[in-house]
Structure 1
Amino acid sequence: MPQTDLNVQHRLTDEPDDRTHVSVSCPACTRLHLIDRTTGKLLGDRRG
């Protein structure tokens, strides 16, 4: 989950992929996050 409470934008490619989530290196906290390709939300993010 986010550690900095900052909103960080990242563009996901539209390339066809079998994966439901993609890993993204975060420039704010330098950690790796998993993003749902369909919703754009972080894995485990339960916020509305």
Structure 2
Amino acid sequence: MAVLILGLFIGAIATPFTELDLVYRLWSGAFPGLSAVGLFEVGSQKKSDA
């Protein structure tokens, strides 16, 4: 949950760097945050199973 909030925050503060609407910036911050956690979980599960 923390990475989702962090991604939303980073997307929101990207105002000076892009001309996108706020909704698009929030989505573009949330997806990478959630994806990073998913990839980390997949990697850590494979290491603990081996």
| TM-score bin, normalised by smaller chain | under 0.3
Bigger relative contact order (CA 8 A; separation at least 6): 2
Normalising by structure 1, we get a TM-score of 0.26
Point out the structure with the larger helix share: 2
Larger radius of gyration between Structure 1 and Structure 2? 2
Point out the structure with the larger strand share: 1
